[in-house]
Amino acid sequence: MRIQVFESKTDKNGNWIVNGRYLFEESATFVGSRNEFVENARNKFIEDFLDYYYEDPGEDQQAATRQLSPTAIPMLVNILSRCSQLVGNTTLRYLYLFAARFLATIVSDAKSHAFLRQRMRYVECLVHFALGDETASTLNLRHDDDLPELPILSKEEAVVAQLAKYQDMDVERKPRSAESDINTAYLEEMVSASNVLRGKLEPSELNRIKKGIADYLRVADVYRNITREYTDYGEESDTLEFKTSVVFPPDNGMQPDPQQQQWAILKAVCGFLNTVSGGEILLGVNDYGRASGLKNDISYLFAHRYILSQTMDSYRLYVKTLIDKAFRDNHNVEGLDVTSTVITYVIERNNEGDDLLRVHVNPYENGIVSFREEHLPDGMSRSYYRTSGATVRMDDKLMKLVKQRKNL
């Protein structure tokens, strides 16, 4: 759309009158609903323009005119153009460009006029894409021959060229029937799209993609949103330790090794027993304070006959047995005589449906606790102490300090 200005003059009251008309170029981008968009933008501009620039002289005020500085309108054109880049509302962005182009026409600034016309075409293309009036492949931002090759215009042309490649979803596509096979190529595209867009889209948008995959696989009825609220168990501290498993060591590529992993649990228990405050171990929670659950543990332990049933109670009994037979104190008190009154086990289920085991360890007040096992795995110490959010080896110096704190 162009504005053709014939003349401008002032009336007897000092008001400026601009004679002109609006012209639509033959290759105008907007059609249908886009024409309505342009019309609304034009009308709003005229209303705001008149409200801003017309001042009704009061009875005691004599209407007067003054000559503008030669640089005033070019500066205003630049300001309006800059505002169009900063505003978030699409209609206002278009109006700022419209106003800037209007003023450029008044002062016969052909270069600014052509530049702003190109910027308006760009906004029209974006609106075209957003409204979805036609397929995106019809988008085209032709370059005005009167314009030099400016970086900003080249970038906008590149943006429109990319948008033209967008393929709208086939709204008529029917879901996969129960009898049909899964199209692995289609599934690969969906999974790849989700992976590529991670970190670029909001979680709610990624959730829609994943839900679409679940729907295609016909498991949407059990789908759980990735945006659901997770229970946050906080951070590890002097009195709190997280362990994801008693079966799978975290540095073993998810390969089961219950003999190795049990020592990670026992080490933490030993550390809490030797403090003056004790602590808690949450089994089934990762280092970030998010629940991972214990399903894999239970499945493995049952399959390999460590437990008699796939229940949390059997799992609790397995963990309790490991701990009860692991320790002794420096007075040769050992086994259940060390642990029975100071350690409790609580089965929990959070809002996400994950089962956890909370092992509450009270401090052992009758001595220094160490492992009963004569032959410890490589790297294991005889005894441990919990401090500064970590479980550390109990050396002679630390043992002396612990005895002082416990009045032993």
Show which of 109, 134, 163 is a domain's final residue: 163
With cut-offs at 50, 70 and 90, classify the pLDDT of residue 273: very high
| Shared-domain flag, residues 271 and 350 | yes
- Pair 262, 383 in one domain: yes
For position 301, which CATH number holds? 3.30.950
**Do 195 and 116 reside in the same domain of the chain?**
no
pLDDT tens-digit series, residues 139-189: 677 667 677 778 888 888 888 887 777 665 544 444 555 556 777 887 888
pLDDT at residue 380, as a whole number:
93
Which pair of structure tokens corresponds to residue 168? 């709208």
Please tell me whether residues 202 and 296 are part of one structural domain: no
Mean pLDDT, the chain, rounded, equals 81
Give the residue with greater pLDDT, 276 vs 374. Answer: 276
- Is 234 inside a domain boundary? no
CA distances from 259 to 242, 246, 328, 334, 342 (A): 19, 9, 20, 21, 24
Q: Final residue of a domain: which of 186, 207, 228?
A: 228
Using DSSP, state whether 19 is helix, strand or coil.
strand
- In whole angstroms, give the CA distance from residue 388 to residue 343: 22
Which range, 23-27, 72-76, 221-225, has the best average confidence (pLDDT)? 72-76
The amino acid that residue 84 corresponds to is S
Looking at the chain, the whole-number percentage of residues with pLDDT higher than 70 is 73
Contact between residue 371 and residue 327 where contact means Cβ atoms under 8 Å apart? yes
Give the pLDDT score at 26: 45
Question: What are 311-363's pLDDT values in tens digits?
Answer: 999 999 999 999 999 999 999 999 999 999 999 999 999 877 889 999 999 99
Q: Is residue 235 part of a domain?
A: no
Q: Domain end: 135, 163, 191, which one?
A: 163
Q: How far apart are CA 120 and CA 29, in angstroms?
A: 10
Residue 35: CB atoms within 10 Å: 13
Domain of 6? 2-163
Q: Are both 201 and 312 inside the same structural domain?
A: no
Residue 266, class by beta-carbon neighbours within 10 Å (0-12 exposed, 13-18 middle, 19+ buried)? Answer: buried
Tally of structural domains, the chain: 3
Q: Which residue would you say has higher pLDDT here, 398 or 158?
A: 398
Amino acid (1-letter code) at residue 153: L
| Closest by Cα among 315, 314, 294, 302 to 243 | 294
